[in-house]
Amino acid sequence: MSNLVFVGSREIGFFSEQVASRYNLEVEYIPSNGHITQQINEILYISQVQCIVYDIQQYIDDPEIICEEILKIQNCNGATPIIYAPGFSTFSRVIVALYEGGISEFILASDLSEQRSQLEKCMNGYYSKNGIAELEVIKTLSEQEAQLKDELKYTTIGVVGTANRIGTTTQALHITKYLIAKGYTACYVHINNTDYIKDLQEWWGAEIQDDFIGKVVYEGIDHFYKTEHLTEIKKLGYDFYVYDYGSFTNHFNRESFLERDIKIYVLGWKPSEMQATFKLLQSKIHTDGKYILSFGDELPEEDIEGIMGERKNSTIVPTRCTEPYKLYDVNTYDPIFQLDARIEEEPKRKGFFKLFGGKNK
């Protein structure tokens, strides 16, 4: 029996099993490693390989090295290389390097069903024969991105949590509401593998306004969930794009996150959350960002300083609010953004008979 090899953890690659079974293929997994060169022998040991799916989120190598080693492996066993990069921008350095290096099969979607669809196309050589619209223009778009961003003057914000269920999505939505309340245009971009947007539509009645681009509107916030259309989304003219990356433990797209203009880390402080928090604070990669201590309003000042150390001045402790679409304090995120409000406050009414009188002059 032929094999499909997934280079990365089974927790991430499980989506490929359903597709592989349709083609009578077995899925073999190669454990994650930060360096692709340390995986080569394990990959080549597997015989009768039809295609190899590389989860590039795991690598800390330079993109040129990743591309070079993938092509060497292809030369050895003839297996089609498929790049698993859910939510990655087509402008990211690693995607550009792989594409320009001659690799044509990419899985860029974050939605599981769409990932399976893209995998099946990749296995049949669909993109190498017909091209991926987003990737066909990557060489010219990558050169124009700086100019486009300058013209549109937008800011991208990445929000990621150190663990599950510590309020990362709530914080991302609160930040979006905060920016809107300050008079700016902002939208929420769902860039993780949770079912939040699906549940929002099913249980809370969120309205789909554009199924093609993946736009859902709820409580005055524009939500986008089809990350394969990020290029089009970024042309819609918002001042801020708030990306919700979920948690480090849930299909985290590190390369994509590190490209954001403002990086925000949501941290936990309970015993079960401290290990992940300290792992982040000791990281040599995630050093340029702001920090939100989730539910930290219960902690005394000295404990916050004990946890955050020298990064305390880059940390905010928002007022506890578990409701994602309620913002109790419109000034909560001022220390992070330091924005001037664009909306002038209405003068206070002086009495009952002023109620219908409009604004005071």
How confident is the model over 30-78, as pLDDT tens digits? 999 989 999 999 999 999 999 999 999 888 888 889 999 999 999 999 9
CATH of 153-337 among 3.30.420.130, 3.40.50.2000, 3.40.190.150, 3.40.50.300: 3.40.50.300
Q: What is the pLDDT of residue 151?
A: 60
Q: What is the pLDDT of residue 350?
A: 40
Evaluate if residue 88 carries a pLDDT over 90: no
Evaluate if residue 358 carries a pLDDT over 60: no
Q: Higher-confidence residue: 169 or 148?
A: 169
Q: What is the pLDDT of residue 250?
A: 62
Q: Higher-confidence residue: 320 or 275?
A: 275
Average pLDDT (77-102) is 87
Gap between the Cα atoms of 294 and 269, Å rounded:
8
Evaluate if residue 276 carries a pLDDT over 60: yes
CATH class of the domain whose range is 3-139: alpha beta
Write the CB contacts of 290 (distance below 8 Å, at least 6 apart in sequence).
Answer: 262, 263, 264, 265, 314, 315, 316, 336
Q: Higher-confidence residue: 106 or 142?
A: 106
Write the CB contacts of 62 (distance below 8 Å, at least 6 apart in sequence).
Answer: none
Gap between the Cα atoms of 54 and 57, Å rounded:
9
Average pLDDT (201-209) is 84
Q: Which of the four pLDDT bands, split at 50, 70 and 90, describes residue 286?
A: confident
Average pLDDT (319-330) is 83
The DSSP bridge partners found for residue 189 are 224, 243
Average pLDDT (79-93) is 86
Q: What is the pLDDT of residue 345?
A: 46
* Cα torsion 57, 61, 63, 67: sign: negative
Q: What is the pLDDT of residue 257?
A: 86
Q: Higher-confidence residue: 141 or 342?
A: 342
- CB-based burial label for 222 (10 Å; 0-12, 13-18, 19+): buried
Gap between the Cα atoms of 97 and 310, Å rounded:
37
Mean pLDDT of the chain: 84
pTM, entire model: 0.60
- The amino acid occupying position 170 is T
Residue (of 345, 326, 320) closest to 182 by Cα position: 345
Q: What is the pLDDT of residue 282?
A: 81
Quick one: angle between helices 93-100 and 63-77, nearest 10? 40
Q: What is the pLDDT of residue 153?
A: 81
Gap between the Cα atoms of 207 and 222, Å rounded:
10
- Return the domain boundaries, the chain: 3-139, 153-337
Average pLDDT (273-279) is 81
Token output for 223: 């939500």
CB atoms under 10 Å from CB of 98, counted, come to 26
Q: What is the pLDDT of residue 160?
A: 95
- For residues 73 and 43, the answer to whether their CB atoms sit within 8 Å is yes
| Domain 3-139 shares a fold with domain 153-337 | yes
Residue (of 310, 311, 305, 316) closest to 338 by Cα position: 316
Residue where the block lists tokens 């948690």: 247
The DSSP bridge partners found for residue 160 are 265
Which of 186-190, 198-202, 314-318 comes out lowest in average pLDDT?
A: 314-318
Evaluate if residue 322 carries a pLDDT over 90: no
Average pLDDT (345-361) is 40
- For residues 180 and 217, the answer to whether their CB atoms sit within 8 Å is no
Write the CB contacts of 202 (distance below 8 Å, at least 6 apart in sequence).
Answer: none
Evaluate if residue 140 carries a pLDDT over 90: no
Gap between the Cα atoms of 297 and 59, Å rounded:
36
Residue where the block lists tokens 């769902």: 190
Q: What is the pLDDT of residue 149?
A: 60
How confident is the model over 220-261, as pLDDT tens digits? 999 999 887 887 888 899 999 999 999 987 667 777 888 899
Query: In sequence order, what DSSP letters do the residues of 276-329 get, joined into one string?
Result: HHHHHHT-SSS-SSEEEETTGGGS-HHHHHHHHGGGGGGEE-PPP---TT--S-
Residue (of 54, 89, 80, 83) closest to 232 by Cα position: 89
Q: What is the pLDDT of residue 110?
A: 79
Q: Higher-confidence residue: 100 or 139?
A: 100
Q: What is the pLDDT of residue 178?
A: 95
Which of 16-25, 97-106, 111-120, 352-361 comes out lowest in average pLDDT?
A: 352-361
Write the CB contacts of 86 (distance below 8 Å, at least 6 apart in sequence).
Answer: 107, 108, 109, 110, 115, 193, 227, 251, 253
- For residues 360 and 347, the answer to whether their CB atoms sit within 8 Å is yes
